[in-house]
Amino acid sequence: MTAVDDKPSAVAAPRFGLRPSLLIPLAAVAFAAAVGLALIAVIGVPVADAIAAFVDGTIGSPYALAASLNRACVFALVGFGFVLANRANLTNVGGEGQIAVGGIAATAVALYGHVAGLPLGLAFILPTLAAVIAGALWGGIAAVLKVRSGTNEVISTLLLSFIGVWLLYWCVQSPALLRKPMTSSATLPESLEIPDAAKLPLLTGDYGFPVHLGLPLTLILAVVVGVILARTLFGVRLRAVGLNPVAAYRAGISTTRTIVVALSAAGALGGLAGALMLLGEQYTLKDGFSSGYGFDGLVAGLLSRGSIPGVIAASLLFGFLRSGGINMEMTAAVPTALVVVIQGLIVITLAGAALFIEKWERR
Amino acid sequence: MSWELFAVFIGSSIRLAAPLLLAGIGEMVSERAGVLNMSIEGMMLMSAFASAVGAWATGDPLLGLLIGILSVVPVALLQAFLSNTLRANQIVSGIGINILVLGATTLAHREIFGARSRAEIPGLAKIKLPLLGDIPIIGPAVFEQVWLLYAGIVLIVITALVLRYTSLGLAIHAAGAEPKAVDKSGLSVTFVRYGVVLLAGLMAALAGAFLSIGDIHTFTEGMTRGAGYLAIASVIFGKWRIGGTTLACLLFGAATALQFQLPALGIGVPNALLIMLPYLMALLAVGGLVGRQMAPATLGEPYRR
């Protein structure tokens, strides 16, 4: 089984202007949005009301804007990981599980790691690091299976996602793990709230605009991952392994190590995304807290066609889509599943158009 | 464990393995011919939904099953078109289809059943096998299953015979192993590969209908919960052979059945661990027990003349 056959777009010399690699994703998004609007009309909701609810939920208030940006960070981190691993022709579809184990690790350390009194922000740095390590290990499992038994990473990361999600369920269901002490049968299956010191600081300190430290962190990582891919020896190794593993091996590149590092790094970014969700917004671990975020991040990575700015653009799009979708459900009675339909259409359209984009760019 | 409980365990293992088996065999044939359908999950969900709605609207589960099968045809054609004609990445396009179907069925479910909670959906009948069904204790627990399962077993036997003894079976195998040879022999690789994706779709449709109108007589949003991916894992585990795939599905079915059996025996294993077990076993299976060279040579690669 060989995975993605579209070559990393960075191989081509950078050209500017309206390239098909830019035009076609835009067209795909426009097409999917049009279908979405048509569906809203079919459901019988006035389209104007739905759009008003959508806009209200995305940029209608400082709070909505901040929520969209925080979501976009989660998608972007998973997307960066996808792009990084994909440079080596590895398809990491395990973001969902990586977010889940990241959230579990962050909660465990924040609640039971005696971090509350630590100075210098260690109270939130340590749980974040735990999440990164947990995610890296989760991604690393897929890497080890790939290297040792040739297991296709798509199927292993997918199965690991299911396992991670059920692990999360286990953690919040069992009082022996992370469930808060049961005082009555009505005690919800969720963890205690993490201590204030472990919460990610808000940039403005204002709960009306709750953008947290995750945003600058994501932007820094965007630069770091971009530089690694474009300017470092490791980036070259990734690309060499992706384009021709046999040739890379003959040239003295350790394909094994490259694969392990790439998938672990992707997992680490997924774990970090889980930490941002938990320490930045949700504060208590609940079943299904990662619901669909890993897949959205994966789709953002796919949409970007290997470019970091592309991931950011797609993540912003999905951050706003999700926020707007939630508000449409709450105020205009349009199910959020509509957003899922739109995303599916975008992925399918782009998958189908990949060949055209490639042919066009080679001319 | 008493005999009664053991018989119930065997019976529910088979019942829970049935959808995996139906979908898994279809997927195996398709992978033999070189096409990987990650969209099995979506096809199952589509059929689970459409057959439930069909059975509910017409009052006839048989019509529901038919509607379920028909509903998967466009999905399978889309997958075949993407992976054969547009030569799209089969993994990406499959996952895209799964996302689309999850969204579409959830949306439609809310629209149709939104106000009415848990509508009564007529289900497919159970049939007691003659003779075997009359065995005390074991008979009622093991040999009284939904008829769709027996039909599926017949289909699987036919598939095995066709693969093994006919030129069509040879062509399917060759389309995955040596597509150029198929092309030179005058047969269209694209044609064969469209055919196998449609077959995978048909089997996934039966599997999905089994889940909704065969097993629990209702539809819940996203009810396949990764069963399609388990089916794919069972194909890998089964080394792309009918017998192996069948055993793998039964194993996953038994692992799922433990969820209901162990608590009945008073064995205190966390529920989440048991739900996780089939996926864990699938991971171990694809990770540890399968060699590299087993997969059809061109699996996942679009053919280009």
Q: Do A151 and B38 touch (CB under 8 A)?
A: no
Structure confidence at residue B1 (pLDDT) = 60
Structure confidence at residue A263 (pLDDT) = 96
pLDDT at A7 > cutoff 70: no
Question: Which residue out of B107, B112, B220, B303 would a mutagenesis test of the A interface target, given it has the greatest number of A Cβ atoms within 10 Å?
Answer: B107
- In a domain? residue B181: yes
> Please, which residues 145-164 of chain A have a Cβ atom closer than 8 Å to chain B?
145, 149-152, 154-156, 158-160, 162-163
A358 vs B65, which has greater pLDDT? Answer: B65
Q: Which residues on neighbouring strands pair with residue A354, listed in sequence order?
A: none
Report chain A residues whose CB lies below 8 A from the CB of B106. 335, 337, 340
B275 vs A270, which has greater pLDDT? Answer: A270
Phi, psi of B261 (to 5 degrees): -85, -45
Q: Do A344 and B89 touch (CB under 8 A)?
A: no
Q: Do B107 and A341 touch (CB under 8 A)?
A: yes
Q: Give per-residue pLDDT as tens, A18-63.
A: 677 778 888 888 999 999 999 999 988 899 999 999 999 888 889 9
**Range with top average pLDDT, A82-86, A185-189, A193-197, B254-258:** A82-86
- In a domain? residue A18: no
CA distances from A232 to A73, A82, A236 (A): 24, 18, 7
Structure confidence at residue B289 (pLDDT) = 61
B206 vs A188, which has greater pLDDT? Answer: B206
Q: What is the mean pLDDT of residues A275-295?
A: 88
Closest partner residue to A5 (CB to CB) among B89, B102, B226 is B89
Report chain B residues whose CB lies below 8 A from the CB of A1. 36, 295, 299-300
Q: Do A348 and B232 touch (CB under 8 A)?
A: no
Residues A240/A245/A250/A252 CA torsion (nearest 10 deg): 50
- Average pLDDT, rounded, for chain A: 87
Q: Is A37 on the interface with B (CB under 8 A)?
A: no
Q: Do B86 and A151 touch (CB under 8 A)?
A: no
Please list, in sequence order, all residues whose beta carbon lies within 8 angstroms of the beta carbon of residue A149, skipping any fewer than 6 positions away.
B287, B288, B290, B291, B292
Its domain, for residue A165, covers 69-306
Distance from CA of A122 to the nearest CA of B (A): 32
- In a domain? residue A118: yes
Q: Do A347 and B87 touch (CB under 8 A)?
A: no
Low-confidence ranges of chain B (pLDDT < 50): 293
Report chain B residues whose CB lies below 8 A from the CB of A352. 81-82, 86, 88, 93
Question: Which residue out of B99, B111, B259 would a mutagenesis test of the A interface target, given it has the greatest number of A Cβ atoms within 10 Å?
Answer: B99
- In a domain? residue A249: yes
CB neighbour burial string for A222-240, b if at least 16 within 10 angstroms, e if fewer: beebbebbeeeebbebbbb
Q: Can you say how many angstroms the Cα of residue A276 is from the centroid of all Cα atoms in its chain?
A: 11
Distance from CA of A318 to the nearest CA of B (A): 14
Q: Do A39 and B88 touch (CB under 8 A)?
A: no
Q: Do A174 and B272 touch (CB under 8 A)?
A: yes
> Please, which residues 284-343 of chain A have a Cβ atom closer than 8 Å to chain B?
295, 298-299, 302, 335, 337-343
Expressed in percent and rounded to 5, the helix, strand and coil fractions of chain A are 70, 0, 25
Q: Do B283 and A163 touch (CB under 8 A)?
A: yes
Q: How confident is the model at residue A289 (pLDDT cuts 50, 70, 90)?
A: confident
Domain count, chain B: 1
Its domain, for residue B45, covers 3-224
A257 vs B115, which has greater pLDDT? Answer: A257
Distance from CA of B164 to the nearest CA of A (A): 24
Report chain A residues whose CB lies below 8 A from the CB of B81. 352
Q: Is A167 on the interface with B (CB under 8 A)?
A: yes
Domain count, chain A: 1
Q: What is the ipTM of this complex?
A: 0.89
- In a domain? residue A196: yes
Looking at chain A, the whole-number percentage of residues with pLDDT higher than 70 is 95
Q: Is A93 on the interface with B (CB under 8 A)?
A: yes
Contact A143/A259 with Cβ under 8 angstroms?
yes
A246 vs A186, which has greater pLDDT? Answer: A246
Distance from CA of B140 to the nearest CA of A (A): 33
Distance from CA of A220 to the nearest CA of B (A): 29
- In a domain? residue B42: yes
Report chain A residues whose CB lies below 8 A from the CB of B91. 3-4, 91, 93, 154
- In a domain? residue B170: yes
Contact A312/A297 with Cβ under 8 angstroms?
no
**What is the distance between the alpha carbons of residues B27 and B227, in angstroms, rounded to a whole number?**
13
Q: Do A355 and B107 touch (CB under 8 A)?
A: no
Least confident of A12-16, A136-140, B233-237: A12-16
pLDDT at A8 > cutoff 90: no
Q: Do B88 and A355 touch (CB under 8 A)?
A: yes
Q: How confident is the model at residue A4 (pLDDT cuts 50, 70, 90)?
A: very low
* Cα nearest neighbour of A39 on chain B: B107
Structure confidence at residue A17 (pLDDT) = 55
Q: Do A145 and B291 touch (CB under 8 A)?
A: no
Q: Do A347 and B107 touch (CB under 8 A)?
A: no
- In a domain? residue B96: yes
How many CB atoms are closer than 10 A to CB B81? 15
**What is the distance between the alpha carbons of residues A267 and A133, in angstroms, rounded to a whole number?**
9
- In a domain? residue B143: yes
- CB pairs below 8 Å between A and B: how many? 159
**What is the distance between the alpha carbons of residues A290 and B298, in angstroms, rounded to a whole number?**
35
Q: How confident is the model at residue A12 (pLDDT cuts 50, 70, 90)?
A: very low
- In a domain? residue B33: yes
- In a domain? residue B265: no
Structure confidence at residue A179 (pLDDT) = 82
pLDDT at A13 > cutoff 50: no
* Cα nearest neighbour of A171 on chain B: B272
